[in-house]
Structure 1
């Protein structure tokens, strides 16, 4: 990390404030965006069958969602040959990146594109950055 690059921090959103997160970060695409996150979780982890998720905001203006479960999960994406284990937080970042990319392609909305780049920037600083970046490559 260069001296001009700041460390991006994440903050878990309290349960009572979660209702505001997706509309704030995805605008009128929030319902579709949330659905895409869960859809991508199913695509990338065959054993995913739902559950509670945490919402996180980022100090650079981005956000992501991650499963509340803290265990490691097997992530597989056949289109790039990725297959490996990652923690729930890294899985959430990966899934949210896939969902944001998908949503950006569908909507061509500059705000959604910016959200993708904000989260990707955070992902490069994550402890599991190598795994996340290999998965989305």
Structure 2
């Protein structure tokens, strides 16, 4: 099968190293929304996970162009009032959930702008990655 075979790059998350952390927020939320985006992610995590009390967060880029933020913690119990979800998941999966909620919120707030289009793309790229995550079923139940 030689006809136009394409090599597929596996979808993966790459931890942002300390040297590039300062570039992360303006790159992925945009310079105008970077502070609001960061604050919203922390706020969504406080809203979703009663036991979350702050802490250090890792930043991840995705090989498809997406990104997410995740706290460096153990497992968290999430409750989503809007859809009745309640369950426990890793902090990594919880970070994906919080980031997806923020991308959706910011896209709604910036509707009709180029920023909105970029946020929607990043939402879909992160949702695509979530489907490959070990906790995909939990993530999808939390966001749907």
Give me the TM-score of the superposition, normalised by structure 1. Answer: 0.93
Aligned to 1:17: 20
Unaligned runs of 5+ in 2: 1-6
Deviation at 1:6, TM superposition (A): 5.3
Unaligned runs of 5+ in 1: none
Counterpart check, 1:51 vs 2:52: no
One of 105, 109, 118 as aligned partner of 1:111: 118
SS of match in other structure, 2:29 = helix
Q: Computing the radius of gyration over CA atoms, which structure comes out larger, 1 or 2?
A: 2
Counterpart check, 1:97 vs 2:104: no
One of 29, 35, 38 as aligned partner of 1:31: 35
Equivalenced residues, count:
134
Q: Pairwise CA RMSD of aligned residues? A: 1.5
Provide runs of 4+ in structure 1 moved above 4 Å: none
Deviation at 1:46, TM superposition (A): 1.1
Deviation at 1:16, TM superposition (A): 2.5
Deviation at 1:7, TM superposition (A): 3.1
